[in-house]
Amino acid sequence: MPHIFRGLWPAQWVVFIMSEKSMRLENKVAIITGAASGFGEGMARRFAEEGAKIVVADLNARGAERVAAEIGKAAIWTQTDVSLRSEFDEMVYAAKSAFGRIDIMVNNAGYTHRNGDMLDVSEETFDLITAVNMKAIYHAALAVVPIMERQGGGVILTTASTAGLRPRPGLTWYNASKGWAITATKSMAVELAPKNIRVNCLCPVAGETGMLEKFMGADTPEIREKFRASIPLGRLSTPLDIANAALWLASDEAAFITGVALEVDGGRCI
């Protein structure tokens, strides 16, 4: 049915014959790591709603399979350890075999130590943080940039954190890894712009995900309230908040946006 909009001037009428709303990621293929739960699951579902084909990648095979099954025929799943380059190659092979191309790479998988004294974090935990939060971005670039270049462009999106912009005590090594991710994003954006590959990152404030307890150190109503009080809009982030921001950055609506660390934080970083 036609939708009629009145113009800015009294004598003008503009009639837009609006067919079914076009989907923002129609015919796009997106790989999303850490997509079995939390922010990654939210992105997978939201991207699929907007027409994308989804590769649900996660170390948690059972969760990845569940999310892909609930999305339906527009999704496949892979069990992927992002700390290993060989598993990126397998993930990319699965994506290409199923859907023929890769348009969007979302580096969402993340890991943190529990909030506490930085000297109490073991070397094993430190190494895992750097492997998942930092080195995985390198693995992803090696795997997808040549494909995107051959296709004429693409989007790389990383889930960083407000911790990389406004560090909080007790999360020193996690904060540092997210600061690294932000700097890598900006540097990659400059280098890959001539290839028409846009690179951006999201900086969410902590949300209702499995990592929340580690961010807070302990999960009690009192600690949650204190944490919530530090956010001007008065609540934690949700997977849908992050997914909607990611959707915009991944879509052609953000075609002139690259090198941005977008705060999705309810005002936390002000």
Q: Which domain holds residue 91?
A: 29-263
CATH number at residue 119: 3.40.50.720
- On whether residue 101 sits in a domain, the answer given is yes
- On whether residue 4 sits in a domain, the answer given is no
- On whether residue 106 sits in a domain, the answer given is yes
Which residues are 198's β-sheet partners? 155
CA 133 and chain centroid, separation: 12
Single out the catalytic residue among 93, 111, 138, 174.
174
Residue 29 · residue 55 · CB < 8 Å:
yes
Using alpha carbons only, give the angle 113, 115, 117 rounded to the nearest 5 degrees.
95
- On whether residue 268 sits in a domain, the answer given is no
Number of domains in the chain: 1
- On whether residue 13 sits in a domain, the answer given is no
Q: What is the pLDDT of residues 94-123, one digit of tens each?
A: 999 999 999 999 999 999 998 999 999 999
DSSP H stretches of helix in the chain: 38-49, 61-71, 85-99, 123-130, 136-151, 172-192, 212-216, 221-229, 239-250
pLDDT at 222: 80
Residue 204 · residue 159 · CB < 8 Å:
yes
- On whether residue 11 sits in a domain, the answer given is no
* Beta pairing class for 3-6 and 13-16: antiparallel
Q: Is residue 138 flagged as an active site residue?
A: no
- On whether residue 1 sits in a domain, the answer given is no
| 148 vs 77: CA distance, rounded Å | 21
- On whether residue 18 sits in a domain, the answer given is no
Q: What is the pLDDT of residues 4-56, one digit of tens each?
A: 434 444 444 333 333 346 799 999 999 999 999 999 999 999 999 999 999 99
pLDDT at 225: 83
Rounded mean pLDDT, 124-153: 98
Q: What is the pLDDT of residues 219-228, one digit of tens each?
A: 777 877 887 8
Which residues are 56's β-sheet partners? 32, 77
Helix (H, G, I), strand (E, B), or coil: what is residue 28? coil
The DSSP H or E segment spanning 165 is none
